[in-house]
Structure 1
Amino acid sequence: MLKYLRVGISIVIFTLITFYFLDFAALLPEGFHGLAQIQLVPAILGGSLLILLFLAILTLLFGRIYCSSICPMGIYQDIVSWFSKRRLFSKKKKRYNYSKAKNIIRWSVLGATIIAFLTGFPILLGLIDPYSAWGRIISN
């Protein structure tokens, strides 16, 4: 039951964020622009400590709920993974193998994000941010 709830919330948020980026005719009400404020890097750049605290508590309580239900790039990865597990596109069923955590990459991205934020260099944050990457993908 909880999986279906998470998938339903993910579909709604993914659809609204995608339409937010594709809304060149300004058809969506102004309330939908709030979806950008619950994203991690826009909250960091905006200095919204309340949203950052909410996302941190949500992540501590429910694990990767941010990546699988709020972040559009994470939702897109889940969609691609779901389709690749099915035999829709190939005859051979794909399996994922375990790999060790890539801690050097993980800590490097975190360090680059912190340095870019502290030095006031938001262009680097925009390149790292999955929300803005999804915006570039969907609008192009």
Structure 2
Amino acid sequence: MKRYQGLKAMRITVSVAVAAVITLLWIEYSDLVLGAMGWIEHTQIIPAGMALSGVTILFWLVMTALFGRIYCSMFCPLGVVQDVAARLGRMSRKGSRRDYHYSPPMTRLRYCSLAVVAVCLFTGLLIIPAILDPYSMYSAFVLNVLKPVWGWVNNAVAAFGVYTGWWTVTYVSVITASLFGIALSVVSLAGVAVSAWISGRPFCNTICPVGTVLGVVSARSLWHIDIDTDLCTNCRKCEHACKAHCIDLTDHVVDGSRCVGCFDCLTVCPDDAIFYRPDRKQLSLPMMQSLDSPEIGRASACSGTSASASMNTDTKGMKNALNTISDETISRTS
């Protein structure tokens, strides 16, 4: 739908800007970005939980209850990495393998991962949360891998400026992480990127603790993705665009707990049958309505009684007609 093109563009713009600021926040060697944009770190959920910042957690719970998992689509830097990898993966494939398909939720795995992270945070074992938390994973990669590389490039440019006399660049003191830290950061981010390349956003709906917590709230969010079954022609384009694998067109249901709010499905529907709105579509065909309300139940019972009475009347009429015909036949024979 064209009406949602602007919403999707806004989502992409905000997510890229947040990811760029977070990257600069951890990659720079001065305090320029830190002084101006350091507050953005306090918008991240796991760091806020570790700092016992109830205001941040409450803010995201309220925003999720209203609009769904917009944190996952706009404010999670690892979400941008996954979106880029997913787009490149679909562009590199041909045929039906480019499409996504609905898959049942891995509820047990999601809650087991959340329980492990909660226990580790409670006991002070922070290495597991650092691996599974999307913000911690991304920031660790920037610190352990990108920041040293940026420092070496800076010093190379400074040395060349001194040699040629063309410019003056300040040297920086490059601090490198341990080989284990570098390897852990590379393997973690590469694993998430490869899974996104193949299948969209499986990390967000399987082992990400933030996604699981927000999913509990977003399952009943006010604004949500809704399908108008009176308009839907089952072309499945929305399902094939859903990198969260949460659109079930067999029942025309969107799993709000897994929807990451990317809005990709809204812009591909040729029938204008999918919406982002605060209400739910009421079916226009009465035979498709649920019979769980007293009014519908009484109406059905009354209609059933009327139909039964009508059928009895018709049956009696047919019997009387047959008896009349039989009497006339007998009298003629006599």
Deviating more after overlay: 76-85 vs 105-114: 76-85
Structure 1 residue identity aligned to 2:88: F
1:115 aligns to what?
Answer: 119
Residue-by-residue CA offset, 1:34-87 (whole Å, 9 max, x unaligned) = 11111111000000001000011111211121111011111211222223333x
Alignment of 1:66-81 (within 5 A): 66-81=71-86
How far apart are 1:122 and its partner, in Å? 2.6
2:102 aligns to what?
Answer: 98
**3-state SS in 1 of match to 2:29:** coil
Alignment of 1:48-67 (within 5 A): 48-67=53-72
Does the Cα contact within 8 Å between 2:25 and 2:34 map onto a contact in 1? no
Does the Cα contact within 8 Å between 1:72 and 1:130 map onto a contact in 2? yes
How far apart are 1:21 and its partner, in Å? 1.8
1:130 aligns to what?
Answer: 134
Residue-by-residue CA offset, 1:91-129 (whole Å, 9 max, x unaligned) = 556111222111121001110122122223333322221
Distance (Å, rounded) in 1 between the aligned partners of 2:45 and 2:18 = 15
Structure 1 residue identity aligned to 2:47: P
Deviating more after overlay: 20-29 vs 55-64: 20-29
Q: How many residues of Structure 1 are paired with residues of Structure 2 in the alignment?
A: 138
Deviating more after overlay: 30-39 vs 20-29: 20-29
Structure 2 residue identity aligned to 1:13: V
State the structure with more CA Rg.
Answer: 2
**3-state SS in 1 of match to 2:33:** coil
**3-state SS in 2 of match to 1:100:** coil
**3-state SS in 1 of match to 2:58:** helix
2:17 aligns to what?
Answer: 12
Structure 2 residue identity aligned to 1:137: F
Does the Cα contact within 8 Å between 1:67 and 1:75 map onto a contact in 2? no
5+ residue gaps, structure 1, are none
Once superposed, which parts of structure 1, at least 4 consecutive aligned residues long, lie more than 4 Å away?
Answer: 90-93
Deviating more after overlay: 54-63 vs 111-120: 111-120
Distance (Å, rounded) in 1 between the aligned partners of 2:30 and 2:94 = 42
**3-state SS in 1 of match to 2:102:** coil
1:28 aligns to what?
Answer: 33
How far apart are 1:9 and its partner, in Å? 0.8
The two structures have a TM-score, normalised by structure 1, of 0.87
2:42 aligns to what?
Answer: 37
Structure 2 residue identity aligned to 1:62: F
Structure 1 residue identity aligned to 2:20: T
**3-state SS in 2 of match to 1:19:** helix
Higher RCO, 1 vs 2 (CA within 8 Å, ≥6 residues apart): 1
5+ residue gaps, structure 2, are 1-5, 146-334
Deviating more after overlay: 91-100 vs 2-11: 91-100
Higher helix share: 1
**3-state SS in 2 of match to 1:127:** helix
Distance (Å, rounded) in 2 between the aligned partners of 1:125 and 1:6 = 27
